[in-house]
Structure 1
């Protein structure tokens, strides 16, 4: 299975710029000023200010008494050898909880591993419940926003392979069951536009998903809403897309070495 090559989206650019900032901060243990970061990274000051705001909120950097920036607790935990996987899950969960509150919907992280869909983490609440998985998501890629977003990131052969292994069952009156129609829509899907599920998986629920491809793995962020709030779906999806950078950043950092000296960060 190969990923389809697409131009980087805005969240990917933000994550790459954030990695450049973290590389600079990490290699200056005594701290570095905002002006120093702008000089060393070449990032526009206004954009740098927004990135630093996000990095401070997520705990990747801290600002000390003299105004300089140093690495924060989140970065230390993610690059530690001990309990690395748990640190990543905790960091992603905190980010998902913030996203849930920001978009006013249940949110999910999903990935495509070994030819199958996996919802790895989610954030919901009593007021914002997650989708009831009445049909295994692994068998419903054709009907879900998550599944279609992941399939758009595969090449044509990868999509055909998946559909050959999973029968396109009709789950609601809106479900697409023609592989030709589905493949045509997946091919035409712009990478910067959220994929929607308008009651194709479950009556009474609408969903949206945006790609968060990290390295050679296909992934996505998704949200779900009751159909009564369908008028909020596109705006919520746009907010989710704009807010995807912290998730991408966490996933990119997970493979970094625990000792930063002599092993600089590299975006992408």
Structure 2
């Protein structure tokens, strides 16, 4: 495409999208003739596009001949909401990476397992080498310990029955009493417990259906500056909490 030239557009796609928009503006449904008048399309063209949209599940034709939005659109809407939520959370994580010069992790405890759902790093701030699956190393990572601290003692005991703590480095804590009795904390630290040369900090994320944490990893040589990380990490965790809370309220209203 030459500079300044107009993009090539597919007219039939534009017409179909316009029909979807108009149908969406009529909760009770709208007829083909009304759609043709509203969009300025010829009636035969309108019928042809409507048949295609119904066949693909984007529209549904009612018994009285009116058209309403189909299930496929609902699926797209849900996917769009999830992607927008992920984008907002990643923006917070990216800002934190740039502010702290550290790799950023978002993890949750789902169905009895630790799951790292998002990592924002860069060549300058590489992620930790996951040489042991995080699901098996919750006792040795700030991510895992922060998530487990949000559970009951019984749930923590169940987790360690399934994943007995093992020594990963000389600094790994493996005492069950200490791990099970761990109180909830606004900030959790891992100093070379998972990987020699690496330190991690994790803060809980509130207003989530299951335990969620936001964490950072960095070379242990920077541990002396940990105090500089605490406030930005907590602030970012609070921001992610607000994003999730707003998303949850919007979902409840729908």
Question: After TM superposition, is the score higher than 0.5?
Answer: yes
Larger radius of gyration between Structure 1 and Structure 2: 2
CA distance in 2, matches of 1:182, 1:81: 38
CA distance in 2, matches of 1:242, 1:158: 28
Structure in which a larger fraction of residues adopt helix:
2
Over 3 Å counting, the alpha-carbon distance change for 1:128 and 1:82 in structure 2 is: closer
8 Å contact kept, 2:206–2:238: no
Tell me the TM-score normalised to structure 2 length: 0.66
* Matched residue, 2:212: 219
Instruction: Give the deviation of 1:82 after TM superposition.
Output: 5.4
Over 3 Å counting, the alpha-carbon distance change for 1:220 and 1:82 in structure 2 is: closer
CA distance in 2, matches of 1:207, 1:147: 11
For the pair 1:210 / 2:194, whether they are aligned, the reply is: no
CA distance in 2, matches of 1:94, 1:216: 21
Match of 1:114 among 107, 111, 116: 111
* Matched residue, 1:157: 154
- Report matched runs for 1:40-55 at 5 Å: none
Tell me the TM-score normalised to structure 1 length: 0.62
- Report matched runs for 1:161-176 at 5 Å: 161-176=158-173
Which structure is richer in relative contact order (CA contacts within 8 A, separation 6 or more)?
1
Instruction: Give the deviation of 1:165 after TM superposition.
Output: 0.5
8 Å contact kept, 1:225–1:233: no
Match of 1:94 among 64, 80, 91: 91
Root-mean-square deviation over aligned CA pairs: 1.9
Query: 5+ unaligned residues in a row in structure 2: which ranges?
Result: 1-76
* Matched residue, 2:143: 146
Query: 5+ unaligned residues in a row in structure 1: which ranges?
Result: 1-79
8 Å contact kept, 1:223–1:237: no
